[in-house]
Amino acid sequence: MQGIRLNKILATSVVAPLIVVTLFSGCGQTEVSEPAKPDSELGVAAEIPEIEANIEEPEMNETQEVAFRSGMEIGEVPPAFHVVDVTGPHRGKHLCYRCLYGDRPVVGIFVRDFDDNTKTLIKKIDQEVKLHQDKKMAAFVVVLTDEPESAKSDLEKIATENEIKNVPLTVYLGTDGPVGYNVARGAEVNVMMWQGDVKANRAFQKGQLNDQGIEEVIADTELIIN
């Protein structure tokens, strides 16, 4: 009997430590975090490029809204410059129409070449000047050219054929235009309106000026006569 009891005690003394070791081993395993899974398994990598793509891609409507820029900024004060008057009341003289018109509401039309729409625009501005004589509205056309002598005969013809009587057609020596007016090289027509400072500015590249553009320019005159 004593032998049997001794065997049981020995068995118990061996098994108990094993149970304790097993229990503590199990706890240790639960406390150790599992290795992090790759992002690809969690679906994270697929989301990140999609977000970046949305941020970096420009919207098409923003690209389409970029306009052709030429001329002075709104609020700038037009500097003085001299032209040769070809068809106006001071024809043949070298003068500063910008200075002559002072603080009156003025439309300055800078032109590098004439097409039918450009002639139509000038004719309509001529009518606006006549219509708003009570507001002392004024306008003048400045042809930017390296050959002013050859341009003079063309201007006289344009004024006669289109009955332009209230807007002097003038020439400026140099296709770059007067300093400070910032007429871009690509601008075929650049219309700036001011009364003290610039109130409106529209520019058109070759072939861009159309009926809609003409009407928009005419509508801009409200900004300087009211």
Tell me: the pLDDT tens digits for 103-129? 999 999 999 999 999 999 999 999 999
Q: Which residues contact 147 (CB under 8 A, 6 or more apart)?
A: none
What CATH code is assigned to 71-225? 3.40.30.10
pLDDT of residue 192: 99
Q: What is the pLDDT of residues 141-199, one digit of tens each?
A: 999 999 999 999 999 999 999 999 999 999 999 999 999 999 999 999 999 999 999 99
The type of residue at 193 is M
List the beta bridge partners of residue 189: 111, 204
pLDDT of residue 211: 98
Q: What is the pLDDT of residues 200-225, one digit of tens each?
A: 999 999 999 999 999 999 999 999 99
**162 neighbors 122 (Cβ within 8 angstroms):** yes
pLDDT of residue 68: 82
Pairwise CA distance, residues 78 & 181, whole Å: 7
Pairwise CA distance, residues 184 & 35, whole Å: 63
Q: What are the Cα distances from residue 6, in Å, to 10, 14, 224?
A: 6, 12, 118
CB atoms within 10 A of CB 117: 18
- 218 burial type by CB count under 10 A (0-12 exposed, 13-18 middle, 19+ buried): middle
Phi, psi at 69, each rounded to 5° = -105, 130
pLDDT of residue 67: 60
Q: What is the pLDDT of residues 51-73, one digit of tens each?
A: 344 434 334 333 233 468 999 99
Q: Where are the domains of the chain?
A: 2-63, 71-225
Whether residue 50 is predicted with pLDDT greater than 80 in this model: the reply is no
